[in-house]
Amino acid sequence: MEAWFQHAAPVLQLPTSKAIRAISIDPDAKLPDADRGNNRLTL
């Protein structure tokens, strides 16, 4: 989690030739989370 606090806007580069349609954080529910409903972003 420290990586999220070190920068104002985290950047992740994914080498792919396909369009990214969705992003999911902690899809296996391994981390504690009060609201799992906000862990997915559909683009």
- From first to last of its 43 residues, the chain has per-residue pLDDT tens of 566 567 677 778 889 999 989 999 999 999 999 999 999 999 8
Q: Which of 12, 10, 38 is nearest to 24 (CA)?
A: 38
**The whole model's pTM is what?**
0.55
Backbone dihedral angles phi then psi of residue 34, each to the nearest 5 degrees: -75, -25
Helix (H) or strand (E) holding 37: none
Total Cβ atoms within 10 A of residue 5: 8
Please give the structure tokens belonging to residue 32. 């504690």
Give residue 10's pLDDT. Answer: 72
Rounded alpha-carbon distances, angstroms, from residue 3 to 6, 11, 16, 22: 5, 10, 23, 21
